[in-house]
Structure 1
C-alpha cells in the first residue's frame, strides 16, 4: 500500500513538472491504450462458433500488432536516440522491454493467423489462448507506457526545450505512412481531452493540405459525441450545429 502511495505521489509530481510542456507520449499512448483495450474486449466476446466473429477478432489482433511494432520502431528511431544523447543509459530498461514486446507481437500475430486455419471444434481453446496472451501483452504495455510517461518524460523535459521536442515529434511524424496515420487518428482523437484535440486539429489545419484537413475533420465528427464535437467546432471557429449546445 505504501509503495502505491509513493508511486502516486511520483506521478502527481511528474504531472506538475510537465504542466504546460510538450508531451511526446501523451497522444499516441492514449490511442494505443484505447486500441489495445477495445481489441482485448472484442477478442473476449468473439463467438468461437461464428466464423465471422473469429475472422474479425484475428484481423483486429493483426492490425493492433502491426501498429504496436511500428510504434516500437518509431520510439527506437527517435525518442531513444534523443534520450541517450543527453541522458546516457536511461533507455536500457525500456529498450529491453521493446525487444520482449517484438517477440510477444510475433507470437500473437502467429496465433491470430493460426486461429483462421483452426478447425471449428478447436476454435474455442485457440480463441481463449489468444485472449489470454493478448491480455498479458496489454498489461505489460500499460506498465511500459507508464514508465515512458513518467521517467522518460521527466528526462526529456529536463534535457530539451519544447521547441526541440516538437522538432523530434515532427521528424517522427514525417516518416508515418498515411494509412498508419489515419488508424492512429481514429483511435487517438476520441480519447484526447477537448484542449488536446483542438491543438491537434489546429496543428493539422496549419500544416496539412486543405483537402486532407477537411477529410480528417469529417471523419472526426463521426467519431465524437455531440458535446465533444460542439467544443471542437467552436474552438476551430466552425458554424455551430443548430440545436446542439456544448455544456
Structure 2
C-alpha cells in the first residue's frame, strides 16, 4: 500500500520553481534591465518560499519525530542552518546586483548569482530527497496516514495567505495531470465553491491548453460518473 507522503506535493512545486529559475538565469542578459529585474525577482521568490518551507518543517514536521529520533531531528535542523547560510548569501548577492551601475558589473554579479543559485538548488534537491526518504520512513513507522493528513491541515492553516497562491502556482507547474486532477477534486469536495473556481482559474492561467483540456475532460468524466 502506498503511504501518504507529507512532502510530495509541495516538494514537486519547489523543484519546479528551482528548475525554472535556473533556466531563466542561464538565459538572462543581465544588462537588460527588464529581464534582469524579472529573474532577480524570481530568485527572491525562491528564497521566500524555501525559507517559509523550512520554517514549516521545523515547527510542524520535525517536532512529530523528536521523541522517537532526536538525532535525526538534529541532523535536519543542522541542514536547515546550512540552507539559511546559502539563502543569506543569495540575498546579499541580490542586494549587490541592485547596486550595480555598469554593464560589466551587472554581468559579473549575474554570473555569480547563477552559480550561487545552482549551489542552492543542488543542496535543496538533495535535502528534499533525503526528507522524503529518511523522514517519511520514520513518520510512517509511528503515524497513520490520517494522522499525517492532520499535520498537513495544521500546516495549511498556518501558511501565510500571501504565499499560498505562489505555492499553488508552482505546484500546478510541478504536478502531473493525474495529480492535478486529484488535487482539484479534493478542493472541489472539501472547500467552498469559490476556492475551487479560483483553482480552476489558476490551472487555466498556468497550464498549456493541451494539459488543461485533458484535466478538464477527466474532471467532467469524473463528475458524470459520480452522478
TM-score when normalising by structure 1? 0.84
Q: Tell me the C-alpha RMSD between the 2 structures.
A: 1.9
Aligned equivalent of 1:146, options 101, 123, 129: 129
Residue 57 and residue 228 in structure 1: after superposition, are their counterparts in 2 closer, same or farther (change >3 A)?
Answer: closer
Tell me which residue corresponds to 2:27. 45
**Alpha-carbon separation, structure 2, partners of 1:239 and 1:225:** 21
Please report how far the alpha carbon of residue 125 of structure 1 lies from its aligned counterpart in structure 2 after TM superposition: 0.8
How far 1:239 moved relative to its partner? 10
How far apart, CA to CA, are the structure 2 residues paired with 1:229 and 1:143?
A: 31
Corresponding residue for 2:152?
A: 169
**SS at 2:158 equivalent:** coil
Deviation at 1:186, TM superposition (A): 0.6
The equivalent of 2:193 in structure 1 is 210
Distance of aligned partners of 1:158 and 1:195 in 2 relative to their CA distance in 1, 3 Å threshold: farther
TM-score by length of 2: 0.91
> In structure 1, what is the equivalent of residue 204 of structure 2?
221
CA distance in 2, matches of 1:85, 1:213: 38
The answer as to whether partners of 2:15 and 2:174 remain within 8 angstroms in 1 is no
Match of 2:55 in 1: 73
In 2, Cα distance between equivalents of 1:229 and 1:50:
33
Mapping of residues 1-247 of structure 1, within 5 Å: 19-120=1-102, 121-237=104-220
Contact 1:31 1:191 in 2 (8 A): yes
Counterparts of 1:85 and 1:172, CA distance in 2: 20
- Counterpart CA distance in 2 for 1:61 and 1:109 is 9
Identify unmatched segments of 5+ residues in structure 1.
Answer: 1-18, 241-247
Q: In structure 2, how many angstroms separate the alpha carbons of the residues matched to 1:41 and 1:233?
A: 29
CA deviation after TM superposition for structure 1 residue 203, in Å: 1.8
Deviates more, 1:37-46 or 1:74-83: 37-46
| Structure having greater relative contact order (Cα 8 Å, sep ≥ 6) | 2
Aligned-residue offset at 1:200: 1.5
Q: Which residue of 2 aligns with 1:10?
A: none
Distance in 1 (alpha carbons) for counterparts of 2:218 and 2:62: 34
Which 5+ residue runs of structure 2 have no aligned equivalent?
Answer: none
Please state whether the residue corresponding to 2:71 is helix, strand or coil.
coil
Preserved contact between residue 21 and residue 43 of structure 2 (Cα < 8 Å): yes
Q: Which residue of 2 aligns with 1:3?
A: none
What is the deviation of 1:132? 0.5
Structure 1 runs (4+) deviating above 6 angstroms are none
Matched residue pairs, number?
222
